[in-house]
Structure formats: C-alpha cells, structure tokens
Structure 1
Amino acid sequence: MSIVIVAHLIAKPGQEDLVEKVLREAVPDVHAEPGCSRYSLHKKQGTEGHFVMVEKWESEQDLQAHRKGTAMAKVGKALADALDGAPDVVVLDALPAGVPDKGSL
C-alpha cells in the first residue's frame, strides 16, 4: 500500500525565492529515489511563501529512506533559517472511491 504525504512549508518574509529555489532543485534528486511515485511542488494561491509538496511513496521503507536521504539533508541545511517554523507534514491513508484513476493518488 502506498503512502501519500502533503507537506506545508512557509517561508519567512524575504525568503520566498530561496525556499522555492531549494525545493525546485531537490525535485529531480527525489524523483530518482527508490519508491518515489510522486513528488510535486505547489504554491498556495494568493500567497508568496506558502509552499505545498504532494508526495506518494510505494512503501514506508521508501519514505523513511527519503527522509534520511541526501536530498532532504541538503534541503534541511539550505532552509534551516528560511522557514517560519517546522514543515506541517500530513500522512494520508487513501480511501479510493469512484473511477480508480480519479479516486486516488
């Protein structure tokens, strides 16, 4: 069973461009990680610094490896002073309904 994550990251005022740059640069490395089915960056409409990452991992082991991997270590180091608090990470359990391709991630 796959794992879906929604992570909210809020940049400190004046750090919005840095946060977006660091997150964008991490995407190709994360896409290459084992078990990564989705890792997509978004920005909350009407904001300058509220970023949302939607992720899908094939297993808990893949997710744990990602969290401990080099890409996240680089992101953590680069954004240590740029975020307004720790990321708000929500782990979701899918409740598929309707058309399979539309009813779940």
Structure 2
Amino acid sequence: MANQVVVVATLVAKPGQEELVEKTLKAAVPAVHAEPGCLRYALHRKAGDTGEFVVIEKWASQEALGAHLKGAAMREVGAALAQALAAPLHAAFLDAIPAGDPGTGAV
C-alpha cells in the first residue's frame, strides 16, 4: 500500500554498553509488535560489529509510526539508552519501488 512507511533505524552502542542496548531493544519488541499499525519490527546486529544495531520497521501509516514514536515503549527505550549510545539514533525513511514479485520484491 502506498501509505505504508518503512524505516531502517541504526543505533550504535558506546563501548561496554552493547549488552545493555541489546537487552533494552529486545525487551521492547513485544510491546512494539502489539502497537496498532506495526507490520514489521525486526531487530538485527550489523555483521561483525557487536555494537551496531539495526531495526527494520514497517508501519501501516505515517500516523501509526507517529504514535509508535510517542508511545510508552519508545519512551522507555529512550530513557534506558540515554547514556548508552555513541551517537543519536539514525533513521532512514524509505519509499518502496515495487518490482518483480509483490511478495518478495518489497519489505
């Protein structure tokens, strides 16, 4: 659907804070999955880099994403990681370019 929103969020832990960042992000996943409009929220770690985490997200609408960003789960993550990140979270907002098979050609 054209109004869906795909986000790739990258978080880099300060040295020694990797475990806290992973634990905090993993703990938030069930709550985020239960949020209205959450179509995908998948946590990854950059291969070969224990301190760089990537979350691939898909939201039903910009409104759903906005509610997520203001929601309790993200407030808790922000508070827990306020001193644990090496830099502010980086978010890339993506526009799909449909190509090939609809089931495998888009996130």
| TM-score using structure 1 length | 0.99
Q: When the two structures are aligned, how many residues end up with a matched partner?
A: 105
- Deviating beyond 3 angstroms after TM superposition, the runs of 4 or more aligned structure 1 residues are none
Q: Aligned to 1:86, what secondary structure does the other structure show?
A: coil
**Residue 40 of structure 2: aligned partner:** 38
Q: Secondary structure at the match of 1:73?
A: helix
Q: CA deviation at 1:18?
A: 0.3
- Structure 1's unaligned 5+ residue stretches are none
Identity %: 57
RMSD: 0.4
Residue pairs, 1:1-105, within 5 angstroms:
1-105=3-107
Q: Deviations over 1:27-86 (max 9, x none)?
A: 000000000000000000000100000000000100000000000000000000000110
Supply the distance in 2 between the matched residues of 1:81 and 1:63 (Cα, whole angstroms). Answer: 24
How big is the shift at 1:16? 0.1
In 2, Cα distance between equivalents of 1:58 and 1:2: 5
Q: Distance in 2 between matches of 1:97 and 1:59?
A: 21
Residue identity opposite 1:19 in structure 2: V
Name structure 2 gaps, 5 residues minimum. Answer: none
